[in-house]
Amino acid sequence: MKLNNLSIIVLPTIMIITFLPSLISQTCQKTCGNLPIKYPFGTGPGCGDQRFQPYVTCTDQRLTFSTHTGCYTITSIDYNSQVMYISDQTMSTCTCAQPSKGFGLDWDAPFSFHDDTIFALLDCSTTSSPIYRSNGGNNSTFPMCDSQGGSICSLLYSCDAVSRLSLPISTCCVYTPVNLGPSFEMNLDKLKCTSYSALYGYNGQEANPEGWKYGIAIKYKFNFNNDYPALCASCEKSNGVCGFNNGPYKSFACYCPGGLNRATDCFYGQSWSYSSRFLPCKTGTMSIFCFIWFIILAFM
């Protein structure tokens, strides 16, 4: 082998090895437990949309949603409607009544409450709670609740778990998300309430609180215009998972089967496999080293 040919081999090889960590990455999974994971969510660092990664994580095959008020289990995700459903273990339901500090969304996070979500504040003080106000000069107070609150409160207080607390229905107040204000905050300590219940549907059983869908429905947006990124759509069509590089610019990355990190999609797979079908090269780390070996063979 001539010296010139050797330099031609060595320089590209050094460059490839230098950038090898950016070409190979962890594998982004398509599921977390029994939940399918799609954009904008991810299962690890560099997976999904970087704006969502601090809030939605997969740990020990459990998908969780984090805010400044705590961590909550994600029970399901409707990707067509862009709605995420979570469960708060500290809230009261028809089968369990317990104290809670409330729930809130981070104001700068890409989430908002879905219109179907209903909050029922329980065991609120009728004398010091800010959700009650005086009714003229007869020294009586009334809650600043929604019109549908009366029926929801009476049905909730008919449940065995809530009825055992021996609370009057007048201490219940129903809130919808729009009434939580721009901070999306429900601080039960400040509201002088002991607990709350949340539901996002009646499951066709409006008069039976035991059959209601308890939990919180949260909407999310891909971006300001809520447009699905074209690069991500192309990546997913090629059996890849959308993500981003952990470099300073957080550029788009398509994670392909085998651990390869591509800048566009994974459509390279068929032609690459065909050209190397007689060699023990597979996608991922071995493909990179096989590619380096091909370069060396070409100049020998």
Q: Dump pLDDT digits (tens) for 146-167.
A: 655 668 888 998 999 988 888 8
The closest of 255, 251, 264, 260 to 291, measured between CA atoms, is 260
The answer to whether 144 and 173 are in contact (CB under 8 A) is yes
CA angle 132, 134, 135 (to 5 degrees): 115
Residue written as token pair 């594998």: 27
Q: Residues of 158-187 as b/e, b for ≥16 C-beta within 10 angstroms?
A: ebeebeeeebeeebbbbbbbeebeeebbbe
State both tokens at 95. Answer: 């089968």
Residue written as token pair 């809530």: 162
Band (112; pLDDT cuts 50, 70, 90): very high
- Determine which of 119-128, 141-150, 179-188, 286-295 has the lowest per-residue pLDDT on average: 286-295
Give rounded-to-5 percent helix, strand, coil for the chain.
25, 25, 50
State how far the Cα of 44 lies from the Cα of 26, in Å rounded to an integer. 8
- For residue 279, the model assigns a pLDDT of 34
pLDDT tens digits, 191-235:
899 999 999 999 999 999 999 999 999 999 998 899 999 999 999
- Angle between the 3-18 and 285-298 helix axes, to the nearest 10 degrees? 170
DSSP secondary structure, 61-95, as one string: TEEEEEETTEEEEEEEEETTTTEEEEE-TTS--SS
Longest dimension (CA), the chain: 104
Contacts of 52 (CB under 8 A, 6+ apart): 40, 41, 42, 110, 220
pLDDT tens digits, 10-66:
555 444 444 444 444 457 889 999 999 999 999 988 899 999 999 999 999 999 999
- For residue 155, the model assigns a pLDDT of 92
